[in-house]
Structures are given as structure tokens and as C-alpha cells.
Chain A
Amino acid sequence: MSDAPIVGRSRPVWVRVVGLAGLVTTALTVWLGLWVTPPDQKQGNLVRLVYLHPPIAWVALYLAFGLAALSSLLYLWRRTRSLFWDRLAAASVEVGVVFNALTLATGMLWGRPSWGVWWTWDARLTSTALLLVLFLGYLALRRVPADPEVRAKRCAVAGLIAFVDVPIVHFSVVWWQTLHQGATVLNADLSPTIHGSMAWTLLLGFVALTLVFVWMVAVRYRIEVLADRTGAEHLEISLAERWAEGGVAVPTAPAPSNGSVELRPPSPVGQ
């Protein structure tokens, strides 16, 4: 897993291509969603959020955190251990947290007109909120300074534990009494009334946000590698400073053969 392709002088071509594609498709989705597709019978124009909210949620919950969990696992497994997976996990979690927050925000925007409240302890919202805090903890853990391998191991474990909690949270919250008897707003409206232009736009939305996700993770990963590079350079400097400490002559006990104290200059150890 060489990092050379991604940390060239500037971002590599494929990242730019993906970024551009993401931008274009997202713009297209927005245009289609806002102007071209028809409003819904029940929800009117509000339904247009369906082109963004589910794709964002899909990216956050499945793509980002799924990738993070997989990467954490691969890091911990000896056969595939490599800092590549650690960095990928970190980048993924960070992007995932952003998308998670966006999921909540778009969810609230949708909910306010529909339910009359900004927030409700609906199953999806609740578990999504909990997920957010869960992975904020991961990010907090990552900021604690440590040797890269040590930090990677610790964060990989934390990531896995957090991810394992996801289905548990999901199941328990779904069984909880909800405002809509277990079915969410999304399900209610994503039933077969979506077809034609709406379906295509929705599909485009998924594609668009997946591209955006890939781009963001690639960029973030690159930053992570560069950051670690500077860390390594700091290490070189620290090593040099450390050796300089040892540059001062160190007095040792006199050898038995002569009784005078002698300052020996540091030399490589000869065995």
C-alpha cells in the first residue's frame, strides 16, 4: 500500500476527476430535484428533500462507518496490518461524522413542517444522534497524541466497539415506542409512489453523494498521510536533538587497569 500515488505534489488526477464528477452530479440532482420533478400529492414540495436526505444517510451510516469498521478490522488483523487502513478508517469516520450531522440537519428540516417539531424521539433520528456522539468519541480519542502505531491500535479497537454497538442501538431504538409506530417518515413516503423522474433523480442523488464521499475521504486521507509525514520529520529532528544530548562526553567508571578517571568521548559501541 504505497502512499506515493496520493501524496504527490498536488492531488492526483483521479481524485480531481471524482471531485468534479461529484460536483456535477450533485448540481444535477439539485436542479432536477428542485425544478424538474413534480411535487408529491401529500407532502408537496417538501418531498424534494428525499433526493438528499436518504442518500446522505446512506453515505453516513453504511458507507462511511461501514468502511471505517472494515478498515479497523483489517488494521487489527495481523495479516493485513498497515497504517493505510488506520488512516482510511480515520478519514472515513471524520467524513462520516460530517454526513451524520447533515443527516440530522436534513432530517430536522424535513420533520419541522411534517411533524410540527424540530425533533422527535423517532427511531431513526435517535439512533442517528447516538451514532454521532459515538463517533465523536472516536475522533476525540484520535486527537490524543501518541506513537502512530499505538494510536492506530487504540482507535481501531474503539472503532470496532462503536460499530458493534450500531445494530444494537438500531434494534433497541426501533422497538421503542415511536411517533409513527415503527415506520418512519422515509418509509411512508418511499413506498411505490416514487417512479419516473423521481426515481431517476433519487438514484442520481445516491450516485452523486457517493462520489462526493469518495472525494472527501481521498482528500482527508491525503491530509492524514501528509500530517504523519511531518510527524516523521519531527521524529528525525527529535532524534538528531537526542543524539546531540549524547554528544557531551559521558564519564564512566575507570577501567581496572589504570586508576585515573578518564573522560571518554562517545564512540560507536564495539563488542
Chain B
Amino acid sequence: MWRDALLVAGKDLRIELRSRVALWQVLPVAVLSLVLYAFALGPVRHTLASAAPGLYWLAVLFSTVLATQRSFAIESGEGTRDGLRASGIDPAGVFLGKAAAVAAELAVLQVVLWAAMTVLFGVHLHTAWLALVASLLATLGLAAAGTLYGALSAGLRVRETLLPLLVLPVLAPVLLAASRAWSGALSGSVSDGVSWLRVLGPFAAVYLVIGIVLYGPLLEAG
């Protein structure tokens, strides 16, 4: 399973490197959304700074949907979905590989987004390690749940509208917990922030496990 996961992750990332879709489309949209939030909330520094963690994670959330859609669009070329299934590759490996690739893309995205947020909203990280750990756990959870739902809706004709409807409610707790954790990291109230890790960790663990277990039947249902 791990070998197959590495294989699929490598393939997805290599394709991304060649096509640079995430780089040139998903990333700009994410940064753009930060700008749009400023338009929506008004230019007052104080408002933006206090809303910053939530807005940041909102941007990451929507980027997850886009990245997940992209991940499954890779396999929408004629025959590739069949080819992947027909090769007899371990479905759990496909899940982990795809989720890992999405997670990697989200990680890179967050670095840029974080830099943009520092500049645009004028916030400073007080407790960097908390923010980092929260990011790590949240990213894993987002990638796992996103990939799971991506597979659920892959190949369905109404995929573009169905995927957000399905996955965003599931990701809502991550949005909540990650925003609170980052809020703690920004303001320095570490104990508050750390308690939210207790949501992010289990979320990521649960959805990774579910993905590993249920991806097989899911692929069959496609």
C-alpha cells in the first residue's frame, strides 16, 4: 500500500510540476480571495487583523476544493481512470497517494498565503510552532476528506457543483478549529489554541483511516 501511495503521489506531483495548474490557477485564486475579503470587510486594519485567521483558513478551504477537483481531473483524460483501476493497484494506496499530493500542494500554497496575509492584513505570528502544527494537522485532514469526497463525486456529471456541497460541511470543523488555533497562535494565547489541536488531530486521523478502508469500495462504485 505504501509503495503504491508513493507511486501515485509521485505521478500526481510530477504532472503538477509539468502542468503547473495549482501554481498558476489555484494559488492566484487563493491570494485573490484574500484581497476580496479586504474589499468585503473594509480597509480598517484592525478589523482585518482580527478576522485574519478565519479568512486565511477560508481561503485554504476553498483552495482544497479546487485542488481536489484538479486531482481528479488528472484522471479524467480518456482511459486513465480505467487504466488505474485495471492495473490492479491497491485502492488504499491510490487514496493515500492522491491525498499526499493534495496535501503537498496545500502546504506550498499555505506558505505563500501566509506571506500574503502578513503583508495584506498586517498580522504577526506570536507562537510559530502552534501555527505550524495546526497547519500540518489541518492540511492532512483537509486533504484526506477532500480526496475521499473527490472520489465519491468523480466521474459524476454534476461533479463541479456536487463536490463543494458534499465536502464543505464536512470540512467546517477544520475551518473552525484551525482558525481558533491560529487565532491563539497570533495573539499568543497558547493554551486556547492548543485545545483546538484536539479537534484537528482526530479529524485528520479519522478521515485518513476511513479513506484507507473505504476507498476500495468507492473505486468499485465508479
Q: Is the CB of B162 within 8 A of A144?
A: yes
A157 and B217 CA atoms in complex are apart in Å by: 8
Taking a contact as CB atoms closer than 8 A, the residue among B162, B170, B173, B177 that contacts A140 in the complex is: B162
Contact bitstring B140-156, A, C-beta under 8 A = 1, else 0? 00000100110011001
Taking a contact as CB atoms closer than 8 A, the residue among A134, A136, A173 that contacts B170 in the complex is: A134
Q: A141-B152, A154-B218, A157-B214 are in contact. Are A168 and B195 (CB under 8 A)?
A: no
CB distance from A73 to the nearest CB of B (A): 11
In chain A, what residue has the closest Cβ to B176? Answer: A172
Stretch from A29-37, A93-101, A158-166, A213-221 forming part of the interface with B: A158-166
Contact bitstring A145-176, B, C-beta under 8 A = 1, else 0? 00000110110011011101100110111011
Q: Is the CB of A158 within 8 A of B210?
A: no
A161 and B153 CA atoms in complex are apart in Å by: 14
Taking a contact as CB atoms closer than 8 A, the residue among B157, B210, B221 that contacts A150 in the complex is: B221
**A120-147 contacts to B (CB < 8 Å):** 130, 133-134, 136-137, 140-141, 144
- Interface status of B199 (Cβ within 8 A of chain A): yes
Taking a contact as CB atoms closer than 8 A, the residue among B149, B156, B203 that contacts A168 in the complex is: B203
Contact bitstring A54-76, B, C-beta under 8 A = 1, else 0? 00000000000000000000001
Interface centre among B148, B152, B156, B170 (most CB of A within 10 A): B170
Q: A153-B221, A157-B217, A157-B218 are in contact. Are A137 and B166 (CB under 8 A)?
A: yes
- Interface status of B78 (Cβ within 8 A of chain A): no
Q: Is the CB of A140 within 8 A of B165?
A: yes
- Interface status of B77 (Cβ within 8 A of chain A): no
Number of residue pairs across A and B with beta carbons under 8 Å? 79
A164 and B204 CA atoms in complex are apart in Å by: 12
CB distance from A50 to the nearest CB of B (A): 28
Chain B residues in 8 Å Cβ range of A173: 173, 176
Chain A residues in 8 Å Cβ range of B156: 144
CB distance from A212 to the nearest CB of B (A): 27
CB distance from B40 to the nearest CB of A (A): 19
Contact bitstring B191-222, A, C-beta under 8 A = 1, else 0? 00001100100110011001000100110110
- Interface status of B158 (Cβ within 8 A of chain A): yes
CB distance from B211 to the nearest CB of A (A): 9
Chain A residues in 8 Å Cβ range of B158: 144
Contact bitstring B62-79, A, C-beta under 8 A = 1, else 0? 000000000000000000
Chain A residues in 8 Å Cβ range of B176: 172-173, 176
- How many B residues face the partner with a CB closer than 8 A? 32
Q: Is the CB of A168 within 8 A of B214?
A: no
- Interface status of B42 (Cβ within 8 A of chain A): no
In chain A, what residue has the closest Cβ to B162? Answer: A140
A161 and B162 CA atoms in complex are apart in Å by: 15
Taking a contact as CB atoms closer than 8 A, the residue among B157, B210, B217 that contacts A164 in the complex is: B210
Q: A161-B210, A164-B210, A172-B173 are in contact. Are A137 and B199 (CB under 8 A)?
A: no
Q: A160-B214, A164-B206 are in contact. Are A134 and B169 (CB under 8 A)?
A: yes
Q: Is the CB of A158 within 8 A of B166?
A: yes
- Interface status of B172 (Cβ within 8 A of chain A): yes
Q: Is the CB of B173 within 8 A of A168?
A: yes
CB distance from A130 to the nearest CB of B (A): 6
**B31-66 contacts to A (CB < 8 Å):** none
Taking a contact as CB atoms closer than 8 A, the residue among A137, A150, A171, A172 that contacts B169 in the complex is: A137
Q: A130-B172, A141-B152, A153-B217 are in contact. Are A160 and B203 (CB under 8 A)?
A: no
Taking a contact as CB atoms closer than 8 A, the residue among A141, A150, A165 that contacts B173 in the complex is: A165
A57 and B217 CA atoms in complex are apart in Å by: 32
Chain B residues in 8 Å Cβ range of A144: 156-158, 162
Contact bitstring A168-211, B, C-beta under 8 A = 1, else 0? 11011101100000000000000000000000000000000000
List 22 A-B residue pairs with CB atoms under 8 Å apart, sorted by A's residue number: A76-B214, A76-B217, A133-B165, A133-B168, A137-B165, A137-B166, A140-B162, A141-B152, A141-B162, A141-B166, A144-B156, A150-B221, A154-B221, A157-B152, A161-B148, A161-B170, A162-B170, A164-B207, A168-B202, A173-B173, A173-B176, A176-B180
Closest 7 CB pairs of A and B: A153-B221, A137-B166, A134-B169, A133-B169, A172-B173, A154-B221, A172-B199
By a beta-carbon cutoff of 8 Å, the part of chain A in contact with chain B is 76, 130, 133-134, 136-137, 140-141, 144, 150-151, 153-154, 157-158, 160-162, 164-165, 168-169, 171-173, 175-176
